[in-house]
Every structure is written in C-alpha cells, then in structure tokens.
Amino acid sequence: MFWRFGFNNPSAIDGLLAQPDTTLEQILTDQDIIQEAKSQNPKLIEFLAKKDNLSELIDLFYALDNGKQRLPLIACEILACEIPRLVDAIVLDHQDLLSKFWDFLRKPFSIHASYSFQAAYFSKIITTFLTKRTTDMLGFIESTPENLKLILANLQSSAIMDLLLNLIRLEELPEAKGIVQWLSDNGLLINLLYRLDPNQTTDEHSTAQQCICEIVRMSQTSLIESPSLGVNDIITTLTSRDTMQTMVDFMLDTSAPNSVSSLINCVTIIIDIIRHNNSDLDQETSFAVVLGYQNQIAQQSGVSLINMLSVLTDNIDKFVDLLLKPNQVDTPRTTTPLGFERLKICELFAELLHCSNMSSLNVIQGDADKEETSPTCGDLLKLAFVKHKVMPVSIDLFFEFPLNNFLHYVVYDSLHQIFNGQMNRESNRQLALSIFNEGHLTDKIVKAQEQNDIECAKPKGTRLGYMGHLTFISDEIIKLFEGYPESIISALDDSIDLDKWHQYCMKQLLETKERDSLPLGDVRANNMLAIADHNDNDIIDDIDEELNAEEAISHRFGQFNAIDDDEEEEEEDREDQWVIDNIDKSGNQNTITIMKYHAEDDSSSSTEEKEDDYSSSDDEDTQVHVARRKTQWSGGEYDPFSTAGQNDNEAKADNVAAANVDKDEDNPFGDFSSNSSSANDNSDKAALQWQDGFASNFADMDLSTVKLSQDKPAAKESTVNA
C-alpha cells in the first residue's frame, strides 16, 4: 500500500487528530478511516484505544438496528480489523466493555434482518478476539455457565451457530485444550438433543441436526489424514445407549405433531455418525503404515458404535411398520406417496448394513471358543432384518415406485452389500436367501422386464425408471449364483423359477448389455455405411448382398494419399497409389479417381500365401485385382446425392488400364497404384476412384454410379468406363 511508504497524499485524519477537540464521529466520517485503521496508523490507534472511544464504538454496534447505518458499519469494521492494540484494550484492560459487548446475546432471537446483521458482526468480532487472545477469551467465556446458555438461546441464528462451532474447533489448539469437555459438562449435547423432540418446531429440529452433524464431522475418525478432534466426550455421549434410546423414542413417536421432521433429522444424524466414524480401518491401516501414520492410528482408535447398533436392532420391527404404514400427511392425492420419511428409513437400513459389516462389530468379546456359536452385534442386526422382512419390504417399494431413483439407488446399495458378503457366515446367507424366498426378486425382475417391453411397444412409450438399476442388480445376482452355487441355489428349492431367470439372462439381459456397450450415436468403425444417406437404402442393400460390404470394408479399408503436381514425377515408379491428383490442361479443377476391387479366381501358386489379406470370403484361392473406374466430380458445392439424376453425358470418362495390386505382406489392406500418366489431356474433368468402390468422403460420392459386379473378373488389362 502506497500510504505506508509515503507515496500518498497526507491523510486528513492526521490533521483531525492534531486538534484537541476532535470527536470520534469526526474521525469516523473521514473517507480514509478504514484504510488508516488497517494500516494501523499509530495516532489513530492510540485515539481509538481510549476507553471512552471504545465504549462509543460498542454503542454504535448496538445502533445497527436504527435508521442510520454508515457510522455503525464503520465502527463494526474497525472492531473486526484484528488490531492487536484494540483487542488487548477490550479483552485485557477493560473487560467491562467486553461484558457490555457480550450482552448482545441477552437479546431475544428475532427473524428481523437487523438482528441477523448484528449477529453476523458479533460473531465476526468475537472470533477475532478468540484468534488474537485465545486463552483470555476462553477464560471469560468459561467464567460462568450462563455464557453457554446465552449462545444456545440464539442458536437458530446461523452466525451464532458458527461461533459455537468455532469454539469447538479451538480444541485443536494446545492453549484451548479442554473447551469440548467444558461444553459437554455444561449440557451442550443434552440441549441439542432435546431440540429434536417431535413436539418442538421443525426449525429447532433443523438447527439441532445441523449443529450435531458438524460436531460429528469435526470428530470423525474414519479419515486419518483429515484434521479431526478425534474421540471426545461429546461424540462418546452421543453414541451411548441412553442417548440413542432417546433419539429412537423421538423418531417413533407418531402421535407428536412434528414426528416426521424429528425422524428425518435423527436419521440424518445417525447416518453421519456411521459414515464419519467407521472403525473398520483394515485398508486404511495398510496405507497408513506405508505413509508413516502409525502413531496417528493409535491416537484415533475410533468410536464404538455397538450401543447405537444394539438399540436400533431392538427397534427394527417398528421402523418396518413405518415403511408399511407411514404417518399420514395432509395431501389432495388419492394415492400414498413414498414420502421423505420412508426414503430416510430405507437409507437408515442401508447404512446399518454398512455398520454391521465393520470388523469391530463382528468380534466376540470373551472366550474364543464361543466365537463360532455366539452371534456378533452385526449378526444380530442381519438376523433382525431376516425376521422382520426388511429386504422384501424394501424390494416391494422398489417396484411400487418406478420413478423414484433415490429409492432405487438405496435399495441397490443394500442388495449390493448383501450379495457381496461372505456366505460362509450364516447371517449373511440367511439374509441373501430371504431376498429370493420371501422377496421373490428374480421373478419380479422378469415381470418388470415384460412390463417394460409392453410399455416400450406403445406409441411414444418409455422405459420404466428402474430398468437401469435392475441391470446392475441382475449382474450382482449372477455373480452370487456363480460364486455360491451350492449354498445359495440349492437352498432356493422351488422359491424361484430358474428357467425363466435363465431365459431372461440369455435374452433380454444380454441384449441390454450389448446395446449399452455400443458407442453413442451408432457410429461404428467397422460399418462405414451407417453414415450413408437414407435415400440410397436400396443401393446400399444391393451392395450388402453382393459383397457383404461390412466385412469387405473392415478387411480392405486402407489409406489414401493425395499427390501434388510437383510430386508426380517422383511417384511415377510407384504402382501402389490409390488416389492420383491430375490437373486438366483446360484449367478444370482436380478430380478424384476411385479404384474398385474385383474378386477373381487365380490358380497361381505364387500368391497363395498372401491371398488371405485381400479376400473377404472364405475361399483361400481368391486373389484381388484392380479395375479402375472413374467417377467425375468437379469440386465446389457439388452434392452427388442431390444430383444423382443428372444427365450422364455431362460426365466424361477416360479409359484407364487395369493394374494388379502389389500384394506386399507389409500392407494387408491393399496398395495404391499411380495412374497420373493415363489422364486424358483433352478431358474437361479428370476423375479419381477408390479401389474398393467407395469414396473416401461419402458426402462427395454418387452412389448411383457404384455397382459391384458378381461376374467373373475381367482380364487384368481390361478397362471399365464410368
């Protein structure tokens, strides 16, 4: 900044400060006040650090809700400028001013814009004080439990919630260790938990959920390399049996006015706990050893989710009842929609399956002899899924709502976990069998495919919305049957129709996978005729019948090189050029000669070893020779497809001697042959033809002139006129 090095004009503030009767209002009205404060003008800082002036700045902060905004905004910006002298004056020298400023939290929460404005500046200024004077500010906050209550009373303000989260993040600093414990001891989690009561408002539910989820993410232990608070008293209390039982009671209280909102927000919290505290660190440990994180792993031992999983397992039947009979929502619809409530319950089931597969939840605590007979916490959850038919009910919802892709993905995630589980564990095996025996998944997939075919056959019909997920599910079932033919298929008995399933896999599923594997746009490298004009379908059909064009092109397709006039003499000795550029002496534009293959029987034994490179048929005694045929093109805007019916007298053809193709093994697609010397000087337009009868640029090709003969090939020196 130039003003710091004397390159700017002197500020008027220095002149004002030199006067003995200068007031704070005069200073704040100067246009350079913010710049001078950020540059920490010594005279200005000394003036502002006086107690009377600081008190007046705080008074201006409270005046933000009045009509005049300029001076209050300038005062707030000065307090938030991170000026050490001002911070020390308020936090250390004049704590009564800090208390005066802190009293803003005693104001009742309001949705008015002025309150939100003040709350934002309050959070910004207090955060500045915490950054500059962490220990002293924490001492002030912890001096009385009432300070936490004041913060929680205004928690619906996003700015005040950010302030609370900033307090929690300070736990990572050495000088702020213990702040999380203090917050927990003074009832932070209990306050947030009871905001989830279904009798509270939906705003309270949302506020508590956001705050708890942020604390969970800051305390995560599943990502070792990410900064984290680790296991702390708040997260430990959150996953305790008593806390989880309270949350489950809130979720299942269907008589409360806001039970749906309470359930949705509680499920969101549980899902976040599972995702951010995955104690199954087998893979992470192997990477961590390589990266040198052994000590960090020891410190982040993870949060035990056994109590949480146990409480939820005991209430699986009640959640299933909500899937079958959701809470009634006032709606003009005659049908029952899926609803956010049932979707979140399905998400909860899928996440519980993830949780049940953690290694820490599948270890028997106690005698090793009981390990094979005693079910683990994860096994108990899966057996509860089997007992209360969780997966059959979820599958029914899958097919009942064909347009809800959120539900389809959740159910597919659950099936994917089950089918990829270890079937040597009885709980996994029983859960997989329940999907087929009670859920009849394969039969429903076959029926869904039939229904989809009917819908697609209708005018403007569309595929059913779950068909893409059904393809993925079918792949998982096939892998399961192939991997465990004895333990799974033999146990199904007559529960499913394996014949229909086999027919579906070999027909509709195979066709779907082949179609999905094709590139978009239906353009294939081995089918160049796909880009031909649709008006020439009859001609293309004739070509397909005569030469099997698709196979011929794939074997004979080669490159062509255009030779300029200056290079003609150097290329006269080469007889392997397909494309020859000729310039008519009369001044006409270049024309293209397209050479055409003819298959011809040849008993010569000298070419028997090479004829496979040129033949598109199974006859090993076939050899390819070339007869050249001319198609005239004058360049410019000429469109052969639109002028196919022009008078043939307009096209002049020159006779070109037929030449044998040099069958060099290095070029299995055929060679080019130069014919520049055979051009007729008196012709108006010279022509170039390609050996296999197809133009290199199909947009410039007159398909009406292309006819592939099935007759016996002509003599090698015969001439074909265009």
Model confidence over 387-443: pLDDT tens digits?
999 999 999 999 999 999 999 999 999 999 999 998 888 999 999 999 999 999 999
Instruction: State whether 542 and 687 are in the same domain.
Output: yes
Q: Alpha helix locations (H) across 133-201?
A: 134-141, 146-153, 158-169, 179-185, 188-194
For residue 579, give its domain range.
534-705
Residue 578's pLDDT is what?
42
Highest mean pLDDT among 289-303, 352-366, 663-677: 352-366
Q: What's the one-letter identity of residue 690?
A: W
Domain membership flag for residue 424:
yes
The predicted model gives 511-539 an average pLDDT of: 63
Domain membership flag for residue 628:
yes
Instruction: State whether 505 and 545 are in the same domain.
Output: no
- Tokens representing residue 657 in the block: 């001697």
Residue 703's nearest CA partner among 684, 720, 717, 690 is 690
CA atoms within 13 A on the CB side of 212: 31
266 touches 315 (CB < 8 A): no
Residue 534's pLDDT is what?
47
Instruction: State whether 556 and 448 are in the same domain.
Output: no
Residue 85's pLDDT is what?
93
Instruction: Give the model's confidence band at 495: pLDDT under 50 very low, under 70 low, under 90 confident, else very high.
Output: confident
- H/E run at residue 647: none
- DSSP-assigned letter for residue 108: P
Instruction: State whether 547 and 495 are in the same domain.
Output: no
Instruction: State whether 79 and 163 are in the same domain.
Output: yes
Domain membership flag for residue 140:
yes
Instruction: State whether 546 and 509 are in the same domain.
Output: no
11 touches 32 (CB < 8 A): yes
Domain stop point among 186, 207, 227: 186
Domain membership flag for residue 71:
yes
Distance CA 99, CA 137 (A): 11
Instruction: State whether 550 and 675 are in the same domain.
Output: yes
How many domains, the chain? 3
Distance CA 650, CA 646 (A): 8
Q: What's the one-letter identity of residue 510?
A: L
Instruction: State whether 513 and 540 are in the same domain.
Output: no
Domain membership flag for residue 305:
no
- Tokens representing residue 683 in the block: 């012709």
Residue 673's pLDDT is what?
39
Average pLDDT, the chain: 75
Residue 416's pLDDT is what?
96
pLDDT surpassing 80 at residue 93: yes
Q: What is the pLDDT of residues 155-166, one digit of tens each?
A: 999 999 999 999
The predicted model gives 27-53 an average pLDDT of: 90
Domain membership flag for residue 93:
yes
Q: Which residue has the higher pLDDT, 673 or 464?
A: 464
Residue 412's nearest CA partner among 353, 464, 456, 362 is 353
Residue 404's pLDDT is what?
94
Domain membership flag for residue 122:
yes
Least confident residue range of 16-25, 175-184, 330-339, 711-720: 711-720
pLDDT surpassing 70 at residue 537: no
Instruction: State whether 545 and 683 are in the same domain.
Output: yes
Domain membership flag for residue 282:
no
Instruction: Give the model's confidence band at 331: pLDDT under 50 very low, under 70 low, under 90 confident, else very high.
Output: low
Q: Which residues pair with 595 in a beta bridge?
A: 628
Instruction: State whether 480 and 583 are in the same domain.
Output: no
Instruction: State whether 502 and 646 are in the same domain.
Output: no
Instruction: State whether 575 and 691 are in the same domain.
Output: yes
pLDDT surpassing 80 at residue 346: yes
Domain stop point among 485, 517, 549: 517
